[in-house]
Structure formats: C-alpha cells, structure tokens
Structure 1
Amino acid sequence: MSNSLAIATVTEALRLLIANSVALDVPFAVDVAAIKPPAQPPAQPTVTVFLYQVTPNGTLRNRDTPTRTGDGTLLTRPAAALDLHYLVSFYGDERELVAQRLLGSVVRTLHELPTLPKELIDEAVASPFLVGSDLAAAPQRVRFTPSQMDVDDASKLWSMLFQTPYALSLTYQGTAVFIEGRQEPMAGKPVLRRTVRAIPTRQPLIDRLLSRPAGSPPGTEPVEGPVPAGHELVARGTGLRADRVSARVGGRELPLDADKVRDDQAVIRVPDDLPPGVHPVQLLHAVNLGIPATPHWGLESNAATFARRPGITGPIGVEGRAGDDEVSAVLVLDLDMPLRADQRVLLLLDEKQPPPGRRAAGYQFRAPFPLGERPDPKRLRIAIARVRPVAYLVRVQVDGVPSTLTFSDEGTFDGPAVDLGETR
C-alpha cells in the first residue's frame, strides 16, 4: 500500500532501471528521460519513458471490500489497485542502429529483472519531488511485463501523440500499484477472552420429502404425495443431524427435537395454520459460539418443496339456490386449514352419477381475487351459475393444489358432495 506519490515513484524507478542498464551495454552516453516522445527526434542517443495510460486492475480492484460497516465506520483503509502502461521509445543514429541496441538492452533487463528492486525505489525517492513516497515499504512489488500491441493498436496510440513522428518503441505494463486513502480505520476493541472451536461439518442434503400422520409410531412408513392436514413431514437425505437443527417451512423457523433428527432422516411438524399450496423446506444447522454460548446458523440444506393439500370438512352449504333447469347459487365450504387473502382458489364440480349414455357434467368456478377479509379464514363462499341440477363431487383447488375425494366401499368416489337437485 502506498500514498499518492506511488505512480510517480514507479515511473522514476523505471527510468533509473533503464538508465543503469543501457550505461553498461553501450559505450556512449544515453539520455533516459521520463517524458513524452518529442516532436523533433533528439540528436543524441535518447530513451523516453512515457506513462500513457492508467487502468484499474481487474483482479485486485475489490480486494479491500468491504471498507465500511453499515453505519459508515471505516473498517479498512480503501486502496485503489492500478495498472500502469508505459511507452518506451528509442532514438539514435540509424546508421549505427543505436535505437535497436538500446531496445535490446532494455528488453534484456526487464526480462531478467521484471520487479522493481527496493534499492532503486529508495534511489528514486531521493529526488526532491518525491520526498514522502512510501512505495519502498509496500509489501507487493510492481512487476513489468511486455504488452502485446499489433499494428492497429500502435497506430492508434501514436495518432494520439499530436505531430509526434513514430519511433522504435516497446510497451510495458506495471502491475499493480496500490494507492491508499487518507483516513485511518477504527481500531479494534479489546478482547477479554478468545475461544476457538473446530467442528467437522457436512452440508445437509434433502433427497426426498415424505409425510405421515402426526404422532405415528416410529415404524410407520411415510408416503409420497401432497400433505394433508394433520400430517408431519419426513425429510430423508444425508448429513441432517447436528448440535442444533431447525426447519424453515414456508418462511418460518421451527426448532426440531433432538430425538426427531437422525443423520438420514428428520421429522418436521407442519404448523396447523400453514395455508395450502406449495411451500419450500430447508434444514438449518446451528453451532453454539461465544460467551455466553449463543446459537449461530452455520449451514443450510438445499430447498425442497411439498404441496400442502386442503380438505373440505362438514356438509357443503347452498345459499340462494334458484332455477329449475339450471341452478345459480352460492356454495359455502369449510376447509381444514386457513386461506390467505392473496391465494387463488378454484371450485371444481364433477357430476357424481351421470345416467347411462350421457357424459358426466363438469364445471369450474373461480373465487374472487383477492379473497378479502373473512370472519372465518377457513370458510369459502363461491358463486356458481347455470349448473345442471344434479349431485356433484366437490373439490377446491388452492394455488394449484386440489383437495382430495373420499372412496366408497365399492371403490368409487363418494364425497365430498352436494346435491343441487334436491326439492327446494
């Protein structure tokens, strides 16, 4: 990490590195200057070091994130990670190939010594205009690598240098320079006691979600399919057991008793007031940490889903029945679980005993959306219109999950049902 003089210090150190290199490789004096390539080629052998572009380092630019807490307190000093792009140009007598000899010296030096030595940085900082630079104390050294530049890129670069003729040149990238902010981060609070706890963990994984009647004996085998009221969930998978396990069901967190959780199975109670529909389920593992020990959530399982199936309870009421050949009325249904006001409800009517030779009549009616305020969240009133006056099997579908029908001893559906052909 360095202050605002870091970029200028890198440029001066690079200039010194090149100057020391060419002094050993050529028998004549060479002027090495950190300037833009001149509009008039110099008469004496010259090397120019020109910083033509500065870009954010894509890999390191967010290494210091986050720098502040939610209330704005500074945690770490912000640092901008930058890459420096240099154009190194060479001038000299073309008949003696001076420019090419200088180029070879620079290539050899930067390939052999691509990282700026601390001694050169200290020498650069001795310049009066760089007093106060702390680049030499930075833990990461700036490394130079040659940049690949084709004819088109070179043409664009030199076209930006107005009225400057092209000279034999190289481009190098210096990676990376960190420039720190001025503000000091808030010092940490004193630590009274340190506790370290190492716990082997394994990501819990739910493979299947089954259900069975709540309070079933341990040997009762759960089944697949929609989950009716009065059933508990049985999650099966791997790595389910932990010191403390909770289930997140439909956005609610439900602690699980230790005797209900095994490594391959967890029994989850479904809240009685959970509405019908499709709900996600996750298992959460907690670890007790700190003094006093408090639970911290450590691992979450994958999200599995189950369908909570509504059921129709009691007789179905009929209000305002009218018509001889066709019936228009309001059906009153009581469910075994409450409904939210924002749920979509569909009433399904299927003729119970159609006469031979005639196709069974079937109707569907949608409840108003939203359902609105209701004194009893388990009661529904749905209007029907122009229905054949016969007996119907009745189902209600909530958010895509339909209620079930009961069977007679003969193996046919027999309820819930409503007879719209009864004498008024």
Structure 2
Amino acid sequence: MSNSLSIATVTAALRTLLFNHLQVDTPDVSVTTLPPDKARGRDATNHQVNLFLFQVAQQASLRNMDFPPRTRSGESGVPPLALRLTYLLTPYSPSDDDVESHKLLGKAMNVLHDHPLLGANELRAAVPGNDLYRQAERVRITVDTPTLEEVSKLWTMFQTQYRISVVYQVSVVLIESTRPSRTPLPVLRPVLSIQPDVVPPFPVLDAITPPQQQTSARLGDTLLLTGHHLAGDTVGVRFSHPLWSTPVLRPATVVSASRLTVDIPNDAAAWPAGTYAVSVVITDLDGNEHTTPALPLTLAPRILGLTPNPVARGPGGEVTLTAAFQPRARPDQRVALLLNGRELPAPARATPVDTLAFTALDVPPGDHFVRLRVDGVDSLLIDWSQNPPVFDVSQQVTVT
C-alpha cells in the first residue's frame, strides 16, 4: 500500500507519460493539470493537453478488506483507503483549429491505450517520497463513457465553453491507514483442538500422470491415476472427447485404493489428439456406480517424419515441409506446424489425414526445431527419457 502522496503521484505520472510520447511528434506540446476554465491562456499559441482530476471515489469492492502483511490471522486493522480517480482529458491547438485538436486527442488516447498500466518505475519517479509503486494492486488506466448530460453538467459547473474531451478512470490507488491494527497476544493454552479430515469420504481423482514426466500423453502410453477410494469390484476409466458422440470406457488395473493404471490404445484412427475429460467409474457387487469428477488430459500428436530433410530454400527464402504424424487430424481440428517460434496453419481438408504439407516464407538457413499442434496440444519436443531431458533431434529440420 502507499501513503497520502498517491493521488499526486498518479497525476504526475500521467502528465509525464503523455508529455514524453506526445512531444516526439508535436515538439511544442505542453501537458497541464488545471481546471477547464483556467487551462488555456488567452495568449497561448501552442498545442496543449489538459488533464484535470475532477472526481475521487472509493473503490467499493476493497473498502472493507484487510490487506496482508498489515494484519495476520486473528488480528484486525483499518482497511486501506481504496480510491478510483477520474480525469478529464482535453486537447487544445493553435488558433483553436478543431482538426488539429482532434489529431492531438487521437495521439493522446493512443498513448493511454498502449500504456494501460502505470509501471513501478514511472510511479517511483513521479513524486519524491511516494511509495505507490510498492502496492500489490496494479494501477490501471481505462477509458470511461459518461452520458452527454454528465459531460454538460461538468462544463457548465466551470462556466466555460465545451470542448471535445475524453474521460479516463485510474484505479486502484490504495492509501494505507495510519491507525494501528489490533494485535492480541497469542493463545497460551488452547482448550479446544480441531483436526479436519482432509481425506474425502467418496471416490476422488486427484491427478493423471503420463509416463516419464511427460507433459502430455501419447497413443500407447500407460497412465497412472491417483486419488482416494478408487478400489471396487469393477473399475474402469472413462474418456470423453469433444469429437466423440459417446465416451469410451477403458478397463483399469487397480494397484491400491489410491492408485490405478490404464492404457491408451495405439489406435490412430479412433483416438484424436486434443484434450480429454477423464474420470474413474467404480461399480460394486450390487451394481451401484460411483463416478469421480473429471480431470483434463491432453493427448499429443507424434511426428513420424519430416520430408525433405534437409530442405533447400526457394528463390524467396521459402521452404515446404511435409509432416507425417499420428493420430490422424480430422477436418474440424485446428492443425499448425511450429517452426521454432513461427506458427504455420495447415490447409483445409475434407477427410482425416495423417500427412500435411506446410510452407514457410523467409526461413533463415540453419537447424530448426519443429512441433505439430493439434487443437492446442503440441507434439512432445522434449525427450523425457534422458537425464537430464534433451530436445528430440528427430523433430529437427535443417534448412539450406
């Protein structure tokens, strides 16, 4: 949280931010923080942006909340003063040319649009002695859209002619209370002890672990599922995929009441890549079925080959790679080839395919790692079977 200089700090930081960016294209610009009736002098002939703070309101969502580390468990303190600052931004141009004013307004709005957050360094340098930059909440700048009646009342209050303006809100600004918090002594002899039971009384699936610390599973992998109360007379694992009309139930091998394993079949035609919902289905002798809440599992594609490799660049530096992979990509799946940090979308297709050609422009010569992305799930570029893990060289292509 911060001290009482916070309001002045925000105003000064906004003024500096606007001036530093506007003076690049408009050298004679000045940024002022005056009331609208006093902002523009009669003899002024330069470009000007006036930033006027006309409203300070409390942030209702934070007004009754204690903030650590001011208070600990069992303590009470005065909540900080959480404020929302509202500014009126008005442009002026030489000879009161409306077109020039509109240009300046557009530049100023673009600056604040590109800088929606006031950074710690900007706040630290704004006003000596402030500590607003240390508060946990970020100071955000958002444009506001008051009604025409509200804008009219604002300008009428200052008894000056209306000028095109825009309203911005800056929040949240937290000013720490100077009142001390209440800190009672710790309990010397507790007379009551409560130990919660953290083990749920019903079947729960806690985690799904692919082999070899992989981030995703692949076809043919054996998964380790851990949780609570997973044993039963008949135990299966239910897989659901957005492209399936009905889920698939696979038999599970029970290791213990908290651990079981299940195999993903090596069926490239039936099991598409992507994100699955996985749950454990437990059936007792009476036929009662218990299903755990589902957890997500990502099934990654596997690149089987890249041709040609090495690949020669064309006259414009372009290269075309053909990737063979499994499982097959269906027509309604999003597929892309990632060449280092570049994403190359796959062409449209009418049927499931396991081979696609991708073209990249302006590819520099050298070695490039390649990944295949299907519905947001990438092929495994890291070989987790090695210690330490290394990049899989089979997913590397040489451009000449």
Task: Give TM-score, length-normalised by structure 2.
Answer: 0.43
Task: Give TM-score, length-normalised by structure 1.
Answer: 0.41
